[in-house]
Structure 1
């Protein structure tokens, strides 16, 4: 990754569609100071308030360094951004993905929940140096691909506003013509980079396939080639398989029963790719133990405590056992020695409904003629938060279902921080040449 040059700069950000705070936290960790944070959902707003945000009054102001995140709750369509003109380094947000996700109704651009137009309005009113958006890979499905390419062109030319009554296809034709011309004002054009990512490839203990869209204002002349090089994946499945095979993975986890190790090793592929120079994917076991951010292992959840009672096991926030976990066809559980499955906001109407995990505990005694069978349970909210790389101190407000929904809709903090740091470094390098 590119490294920031010289003294750290006072970088600023605006966060839209903040949800439970994953991307906002990531951007803040990367050195950006939030000037405004917006979210619509009540429980997500309460989560933000319980951590680093405070409700902003009706007065519009630019907060000084060290100020809490100014939270403006409510519909983004009712927010004015003009007072932040030319004062924002990074505009960040994940416009609601339901219009484009496989789990949603997939109406795409016709869905009223499509908030990309509000991102473009914010750009017109703020003129940030850079933009980052995260969304589902459903945007790249063949049925949505033409509209996604239109989104990319809108992001490149956000000041070429679509007029009422003009279809997106008509507007897209105008944008394509403009992009073939040299920009009259480079401050009003952006260079756009779209990246397919699997969060596991960036040190997140979860298989999570998404797209990240980054845009830089053209007048800055950011070196896009160097930026793309700086965001190359850092972890791989092949490295994890090698670490299991050579035993280095097990040396990190000496507590693992021998029958678990044998079972995992028996399913290794016969041919494991050669060293690719990356670090091993992190696993669910890594997340629950101390291998990520040097945290303490989460205490075990006793089988007689799966009763929704707030024992706060080991004094850990939201580490509460939950009953009635089931495994059935099409609903496979998480395995400890693989990255977790994608954390989802809702499955068949149940927030976090697929967050079931196999444990190291056997259902019955081992026999010579059958593979081991392991007991399973629902993951606690805190375990899911660790899979999303949220810090243990981050308070999630609302009942379990709302907490799980916030996590499922979030950007993994470690993934967002990686890209936000790369953006900061690219801006530093571009500005050092000016």
Structure 2
């Protein structure tokens, strides 16, 4: 928390900025965002210039490998580390190689977590991470997030590292950096996003933070407000006459398009099948067309003025990889509340301690 009482944050694997924008809307002031892909960095800079509450005016969009970033430029403590490590190692649409996939960035995430020691973190990934075939590695990831300073040794396998982490985790006298971690599988449609998008969100609080936190209750679905449909999301967008979006979309088993009277199917990044049937709208007469970038952005709850650098395919890739802005805002808002409550509690305890010692002369200073 800075001198003005603002919660501070750093974003890793920022992509097009879905999680970044959502946490900003929740009240976090971002000091830095790291992203290696050039077009995504252009998108972040483009929208920063347009005034979206992504980052400080002087904040750095760091273009490059997060493993090579020198974080010494940060001059203040961090309240939140947020990011979604690349999900291809665990995606149903990928090769599902998990720890053998060089795109597994969980080790990089935990390394930054250990260095910056934020009061809390938010980590998002695909639901595939929780598949039975990944169970042991998923438990290993959770242990790494709980004890990020206990890094894997060069001569260790991940299984050996997991055993060492488990021993420390169950040790009563361990006093190193530790996070209390809560993983939750969610459907974005349950939180006001017009899309069925199942993800795992892992939230952690540093052990010295007194956070009575639980994952936010869903607001939509059975017994609550109706899910927001695709039709409601794109209702007032202009009709299309662009050839690129007409006549070329086709269905295949499992990819038959999204209908207007239900939440959209999950928007995909486009690297494994958009030409074969994903990210499509199916009309009442069973005709199909691809979504526009603006439609996909609406479904991911980006504001209409938010722009994406690059052509249609590049825009769809960025949107498909993003965290829905509204889901990010809901989760980050609950984390912000817990952190502010912890700060208020500690300030009150400090005041009471000083008062008992008879050294409080000006009570107004603590109000």
Give the TM-score, by structure 2 length. Answer: 0.88
Q: 1:100 to 1:283 in 2, by over 3 A?
A: same
SS in 2 for 1:52: helix
Q: 2:78 aligns with which of 88, 102, 108?
A: 88
Instruction: Specify every segment of 5 or more residues in structure 2 that has no aligned partner in the other structure, as ranges.
Output: 347-367
* C-alpha deviation, 1:16, in angstroms: 0.6
SS in 2 for 1:235: coil
Count of paired positions:
339
2:316 aligned partner:
404
Q: 2:46 aligns with which of 27, 47, 50?
A: 50
1:316 aligned partner:
none
Q: 1:135 to 1:391 in 2, by over 3 A?
A: same
1:24 aligned partner:
20
1:287 aligned partner:
233
C-alpha distance in 2 between matches for 1:430 and 1:300: 49
C-alpha distance in 1 between matches for 2:75 and 2:95: 36
Q: Deviations over 1:120-179 (max 9, x none)?
A: 111121110101010011111111110110110111111112111111111111111111
**2:45 pairs with 1:13:** no
CA contact (8 A) 1:34 1:70 kept: no
1:111-126 alignment, distance < 5 Å: 111-126=101-116
* C-alpha deviation, 1:222, in angstroms: 1.2
1:125-204 alignment, distance < 5 Å: 125-182=115-172, 184-185=174-175, 188-204=177-193
C-alpha distance in 2 between matches for 1:285 and 1:184: 54
C-alpha distance in 1 between matches for 2:275 and 2:205: 35
2:350 aligned partner:
none
C-alpha distance in 1 between matches for 2:182 and 2:258: 33
* C-alpha deviation, 1:46, in angstroms: 1.0
Q: 1:300 to 1:409 in 2, by over 3 A?
A: same
C-alpha distance in 2 between matches for 1:433 and 1:351: 54
C-alpha distance in 1 between matches for 2:73 and 2:42: 25
Q: 1:109 to 1:34 in 2, by over 3 A?
A: same
SS in 1 for 2:10: strand
1:154-303 alignment, distance < 5 Å: 154-182=144-172, 184-185=174-175, 188-223=177-212, 227-228=213-214, 231-236=216-221, 238=222, 276=223, 278-289=224-235, 297-301=236-240
SS in 2 for 1:144: helix
Aligned-residue CA RMSD (Å):
2.0
**2:15 pairs with 1:76:** no
CA contact (8 A) 1:15 1:38 kept: yes
C-alpha distance in 1 between matches for 2:78 and 2:313: 35
C-alpha distance in 2 between matches for 1:163 and 1:85: 29
CA contact (8 A) 2:227 2:263 kept: yes
**2:306 pairs with 1:394:** yes
Instruction: Specify every segment of 5 or more residues in structure 1 that has no aligned partner in the other structure, as ranges.
Output: 1-7, 55-64, 239-275, 290-296, 309-320, 361-372
**2:13 pairs with 1:34:** no
C-alpha distance in 2 between matches for 1:92 and 1:330: 32
C-alpha distance in 1 between matches for 2:56 and 2:95: 42
CA contact (8 A) 2:256 2:282 kept: no
* C-alpha deviation, 1:348, in angstroms: 3.4
C-alpha distance in 1 between matches for 2:5 and 2:295: 35
1:355 aligned partner:
279
CA contact (8 A) 1:85 1:125 kept: no
SS in 2 for 1:220: coil
C-alpha distance in 1 between matches for 2:337 and 2:46: 30
Q: 1:222 to 1:376 in 2, by over 3 A?
A: same
1:103 aligned partner:
93
C-alpha distance in 1 between matches for 2:246 and 2:79: 43
Q: 1:285 to 1:69 in 2, by over 3 A?
A: farther
2:357 aligned partner:
none
CA contact (8 A) 1:92 1:131 kept: yes
* C-alpha deviation, 1:82, in angstroms: 3.5
